[in-house]
Chain A
Amino acid sequence: MIQFKNITLKVQHQILLEDAILHIAKGDKVVVRGKSGCGKSSLLKSMVGALPLEKGSIQVNDLVLSAKTVGHIRSQIAFIGQEPVLGAENVRDALLLPFTFKAHSETPPTNQQISELLDRLHLSNEILDKPSKRISGGEKQRIAILRALLLRKTIFLTDEITSALDPASRAAVMEELFRPEITLLSVSHDPEWINTCSRIIDINNTQLIEVEK
């Protein structure tokens, strides 16, 4: 489903990955580990075309990432970082933001869908009227996940998202992201997260190396 084919990634003249290969099947839950600065986040960014590839190619669902396909590929992928950006003044506007874009303007979510998801992610309805600046990092991450679920994204790229969460919220987030229909490529140091993933990849000497569980 997702294939990194012989990719070379270079950031500020430093080679992070060289000729690296990774195949991910639909529904796989992959965690990438490695020293800080080794290219974990860059790997995620390259998949949504935010970082140019030096060499090689990335294929998502039979589409090779290129100028023509980048829009379509991005539409299938949710990217949740350590400090996600909500991009609007208050939480409700942030959730509805993507539906103001032409690509999603015809499928706005119902209030009921939003309430249900808030519930599943251990968030209260009151959060909708809070200013985005006033909510915690953990809440931001869950709002970003909720927004991706509203967009019916099935591929999730997550970067250290459990570090700011309390145990109950973490459990709620993990329950959503580890559903069978979701393909997950994550970066994490959290032992419980790593244990729950179906595959572990280490970045070592510019290579992606699969570790037996």
Chain B
Amino acid sequence: MISMYALMLIPLAIFFYLQLGLIRDTLLAITRMTVQLVLVGLYLKYIFQLNNPLVSLLWVTIMLVVANFSVLNKVGLNRRLFFWRSLAGVGGSTLFVSGWFILIAIRPDPIYDARYMIPIVGMILGNCLRSNVLSLERFYSGIRKNENEFTTYLLLGATLREATRPYLRDAIRTAVSPSIATIATMGIVSLPGMMTGQILGGALPTTAIKYQIGIMACIFTAMVVAAFMNILLSLPVAFDDHQRLRSDIFCNKT
């Protein structure tokens, strides 16, 4: 383990040489990661041992709430306005797709087996997080930067849905394009983490591939659904009754 940390000295040396000012942040990030993973390892050990559906669901809820805060913080959106709506978007899509994967592909016994539920929700959620940050950011900054264009659409008779559609398209495209590229090169350029982990853990490559394809389909679906739902759900609170973008939807930014 020490040797793995030792490897990190190389990037740190490069940061030092380039005077990037990233050393403190990197050390802090590594420390945080270590503490969080050790704690999660402990939690998960107990959660897996308990294997109680209520405890597992509670843990999943915590994951969703933290993910949701993280999305809103990164995009700089007003938490008070968007919290419940974006939680519904992220949570709804993650739970739906995770449920699909667990109930249809894995069918564990018992069905609520924490050993499957928690890692799968985590993997899907992690990916939704990124797509949501990208799409929400792109959507609202697109409208803000092109306010004249947006108003022009309204004046030409567009409804709010119609006037926001170009920005919605752009936002979803931005959020999913990297994933399409990743999917297209998978297996050649990149061997995904879950599959590598399974193979290292002793599974047959053919089995690992089956799960990988399944999880990729799930991740992609959840990402698109979450990005789309989140924007649609945010529309009623982001605009006032005259379809003007509310100025208080962003915090800390002017």
Contacts and interface: CB of A to CB of B under 8 A. Distances in A.
Contact of B157 (A52, A75, A79, A83): A75
B156 A97 contact: yes
A27 interface: no
B244 interface: yes
Name the interface size band of chain A.
20 to 34
A84 interface: yes
A74 B157 contact: yes
Interface residues of B, number: 19
A74 B149 CA distance: 15
Interface in A96-146: 97-98, 101-104
Contacts of B241: 67, 70
A102 B241 CA distance: 19
Interface string A63-105: 0000100110011011101011101000000000110011110
A49 interface: yes
A2 interface: no
A79 B155 contact: yes
A75 B166 CA distance: 20
A16 interface: no
B152 A78 contact: no
B242 A70 contact: yes
B135 to A, nearest CB: 21
Contacts of A102: 159, 162
B162 to A, nearest CB: 5
A48 B151 CA distance: 9
B244 A49 contact: yes
Given A101-B158, A101-B159, A102-B159, A49 B242 contact: yes
Contact of A101 (B149, B162, B166): B162
A171 interface: no
Which of B149, B154, B159 is packed against the most chain A CB atoms within 10 Å?
B154
Given A74-B157, A101-B159, A103-B157, A84 B152 contact: yes
Contacts of B152: 79, 84-85, 87
B148 interface: yes
Given A74-B154, A101-B157, A52 B242 contact: yes
Contacts of B153: 87, 97, 101
A67 B157 CA distance: 15
A87 B157 contact: no
B4 to A, nearest CB: 51
A133 to B, nearest CB: 13
Nearest to B147: A50
A50 B148 CA distance: 10
Given A87-B149, A102-B162, A151 B242 contact: no
Nearest to B242: A49
Contacts of A103: 157-159
A33 interface: no
Interface string A141-179: 000000100010000000000000000000000000000
Contact of A98 (B149, B157, B242): B157
Contacts of A147: 156
Nearest to B162: A101
Contact of A151 (B148, B149, B157, B240): B157
Contacts of A79: 151-152, 155
Contacts of A97: 153, 156
B159 A151 contact: no
B159 A77 contact: no
Contacts of A67: 241-242
Contacts of B151: 48, 50, 79
Nearest to A88: B166
B212 interface: no
A155 B156 CA distance: 13
A48 B159 CA distance: 14
Interface string A37-71: 00000000000111010000000000000010011
Given A50-B244, A70-B242, A70-B243, A85 B148 contact: yes
B157 A77 contact: no
A52 B152 CA distance: 17
19 contacts: A48-B151, A48-B154, A50-B244, A70-B242, A74-B154, A75-B157, A85-B148, A87-B152, A87-B156, A87-B166, A98-B156, A101-B153, A102-B162, A103-B159, A104-B156, A104-B157, A147-B156, A151-B156, A151-B157
